[in-house]
Amino acid sequence: MFVAKPLPSEYASFYAGYVSHIEEGDIVATLRTHQQSTKTLLEQIGEDKANYAYAPNKWTIKEVIGHIIDTERVFAYRFLRMYRGDATPLASFDQDLFVQNSNASKRTLSSLIAEFYAVRESTLLMLDQLEESRLDFEGFMSGKSATPRALLYILAGHEAHHIKILKERYL
């Protein structure tokens, strides 16, 4: 389903970089394509390199994957709340705290890949019956106005952002 790219007024300026990574179009198809391309990329890394960080105090590859997974869950939840018409303000989350407590480094790379794939599949199943009329609902997250439409682009752009960093700095 074609979903117009959100206007800057539909999300906090902090997310503009994520939104800019995604071309306007069928956002569900984009998320599905990313699901497969990300899985394929991650499967090529190998367990021996998965605990690599490109600099001190930077996340490891496993931690980056865990962060993508956690953030997908958070944004999918935010999307669901807004898509269902819930205007309750949604709090931000501390990504560094989430990574610190994820135990990603103790997991296998294959288990993280499987979890990423399953979480994305859950998101895609939720999006199977999108109705365009609900994508303009104005909700609030992290103290700023946002729409479900914007959350779809932010979710896809967040993944694209981190995959770009993995390719440029880790691989």
Residue 82 structure tokens: 């807004």
Q: Fill in the amino acid letter for 59.
A: W
Predicted confidence at residue 83, as pLDDT, reads 98
Extents of the domains making up the chain? 2-170
Q: Cβ contacts of residue 127 below 8 Å, gap of 6+?
A: 28, 31, 152
Whether domain 2-170 has CATH 3.40.50.970: the reply is no
Cα gap 163→159, rounded to integer Å: 6
Tokens 């296998």 sit at which residue? 108
pLDDT tens for the chain, 171 residues long, are 899 999 999 999 999 999 999 999 999 999 999 999 999 999 999 999 999 999 999 999 999 999 999 999 999 999 999 999 999 999 999 999 999 999 999 999 999 999 999 999 999 999 999 999 999 999 999 899 999 999 999 999 999 999 999 999 999
Cα gap 37→30, rounded to integer Å: 10
Predicted confidence at residue 170, as pLDDT, reads 97
To the question of pTM greater than 0.95 for the whole model, the response is yes
Residue 6 structure tokens: 């959100």
Q: Cβ contacts of residue 147 below 8 Å, gap of 6+?
A: 6, 10, 11, 82, 135, 136, 137, 138, 139
Cα gap 151→128, rounded to integer Å: 16
**Of 113, 94, 142, residue with least CA distance to 50:** 113
Residue pair 90/100 in contact by the 8 Å Cβ criterion: no
Residue pair 30/163 in contact by the 8 Å Cβ criterion: no
Residue pair 147/135 in contact by the 8 Å Cβ criterion: yes
Residue 56 structure tokens: 């001190």
Predicted confidence at residue 65, as pLDDT, reads 98
Predicted confidence at residue 10, as pLDDT, reads 97
Q: How many residues does the chain have?
A: 171
